[in-house]
Amino acid sequence: MNPGKVTLLSAGPGDLDLLTLRAAKALASADVVLLDDLVNPEIVTLAPGARVVRVGKRGGCRSTPQAFIERLLCRYALRGLNVVRVKGGDALLFGRAGEELTALRRAGVAVEIINGISSGFAAAAGLGISLTHRAHCPGVTFITAHRQDGGEPDWAALAATGTTLAVYMGMHRIDGLCASLLAHLRADTPAAVVQWAGSPNERRLLTRLDRLAADAEAAGMASPSVILIGGAIGEADASVATVVPAFLPDDAEAGPRTLSQAA
């Protein structure tokens, strides 16, 4: 029997045009595809000969247990099949790839990793900004607000880095994270929320930290979204917003302005 293998494939944030050629080739040769919820469902058309197993994992929703997914990966691969595990964004960023790599290696299964575009990068592209900017910040910090133990990140330490904060899985905790960050950052720190980044349904909200939670609620912004906070976000022009323009609370009649002007 030929040895099987597992490919951890990063499908990007939604638009199939953002898939790499390497990802498309892997899908074309797949025997089994394990598909996450947040992946564009049309991706299965690129794997015409594969059995598709849906193993969705969504915060706050009924999800396929991680241990069960790992057992499926090992079982199919040990049968000699070419298994492609499809994850949204980049598999190596908040995609539980570490847990799956450990399980597969313990089982003696060969693993290939194919990178993709994380939603944080797609969100920045939609806003027309760079996540790093010499005039504003020394780097970017990717952080999840959804911790396994239910605790909160150290927002004070994160604010002290001076980096752009790209917060994943933070919409259910947006009130708390804004309150925590406001204790350490200026109220007029530029902020944004991008929902369904990199997909045809993308929605963008530009605002500032002290208005972030209220504006996001008013605009109906929900998961899956990326929250971006920091000076570099101020380089976005309000014209890129698709919901609630970035007004200052005291000059709402002045009309949309760039966040760099508003700050």
Give the residue numbers marked as catalytic.
36, 57, 169
List all residues 6 or more positions away from 112 whose beta carbon is below 8 Å from its beta carbon: 5, 6, 7, 8, 26
Pairing between strand 225-229 and 190-195? antiparallel
List all residues 6 or more positions away from 209 whose beta carbon is below 8 Å from its beta carbon: 178, 181, 182, 185, 186, 187, 188, 189, 190, 191, 229
- Measuring CA to CA, which residue among 127, 89, 90 is closest to residue 227? 127
- Measuring CA to CA, which residue among 43, 54, 35 is closest to residue 16? 43
End-to-end, the C-alpha distance of the chain in Å comes to 64
Return d(Cα 159, Cα 184) in angstroms, integer.
Answer: 6
Q: Which two tokens stand for residue 78?
A: 């040990």
